[in-house]
Amino acid sequence: MKVVKWLGIAVLVFVGVIALALVVASVVYTPEYVYRVLVWQDSDAFDWQKFPNHPVSAAPAAYHFDEAPDPRVADLFAQLSAAEDWDSFLAANNTQAFIVIQDGKILYENYFNDTQRDSIVTSFSVAKSFTSALIGIAIEEGFIDSVDDSITTYLPELAQRDPRFNQITIRDVLLMASGRDYQELRSFLFNGDDPLTTYYPINARLPWRTSTSLTRPGPTSSTTSTIPKCWA
């Protein structure tokens, strides 16, 4: 009986500690953040199902690349990755799609892990190229003067919080070399700057509201992944 009693006490203490930890974490961060850490865990290829989205219709006349399959592509990548079979290597590493295009021709195209050409997937950093293209369109249409403009021209609240943001240009942001304080890993579960400021929080503009300028912007800065997301 004593064993059962002490076991029950141990269980209650354990549950109490977990509950207290959740309460403290919810106060330090937010309840939404803690919930997403525990339920979502790490990001994956199906994140598009978790966030609000806005469909973008394709043009009436889509551009079609010519297909020119070249087996040397798979052979080359297999050599570079030390894999016996390139397709098996991609599938085993949770790849969904892999396409190689050169001179307007598709040299290699394949899909893995229950995906196909018309599957919806999370683009992750591929979206940064679209952000860059949209900046170019904004310049062409006169909404932005130049990529060498300071970001505070368009986000003046940053200069009010830290005048060093005046040194950062749109070019620096597009090159992910803004000099902003950014760390891949911090001291808590899933607590690097990416998950802390853009994945688990509700507001994707949080990085700008909480970040500070750490080093002078330019090629020597550390790569900062979150900033292009805020422009998007």
CA distance 9 to 4: 9
Residues 104 and 135 in one domain: no
21-25, 38-42, 92-96, 197-201: range with lowest mean pLDDT: 197-201
pLDDT of residue 232: 46
pLDDT of amino acid 53:
74
Buried b (16+ CB within 10 A) or exposed e, 58-77: eeeeeeeeeeeeeeebbeeb
Q: Are residues 30 and 70 in the same domain?
A: no
Statement to judge: residues 15 and 106 lie in one domain? no
The pTM for the full model equals 0.58
Considering the domain architecture, whether residues 71 and 33 belong to the same structural domain is answered as no
Asked if residue 88 is part of any domain, the answer here is: yes
Residues 81 and 133 in one domain: no
Instruction: Please report how the helices 2-28 and 31-40 are oriented relative to each other, as an axis angle in degrees rounded to 10.
Output: 120
Asked if 227 and 136 sit in the same domain, the reply is yes
193 and 162 within one domain: yes
Residue 150 shares a structural domain with residue 89: no
Could you tell me if residue 55 is inside a domain? Answer: no
Please indicate, yes or no, whether residues 71 and 158 belong to a single structural domain of this protein: no
* Number of domain units in the chain: 3
Residue range of the domain that includes 24:
2-40
Residue 6 lies in a domain: yes
Which pLDDT band, with edges at 50, 70 and 90, does 129 fall under? confident
> Tens digit of pLDDT for each residue in 31-78?
777 777 777 777 777 777 877 777 777 788 888 899 999 988 888 888
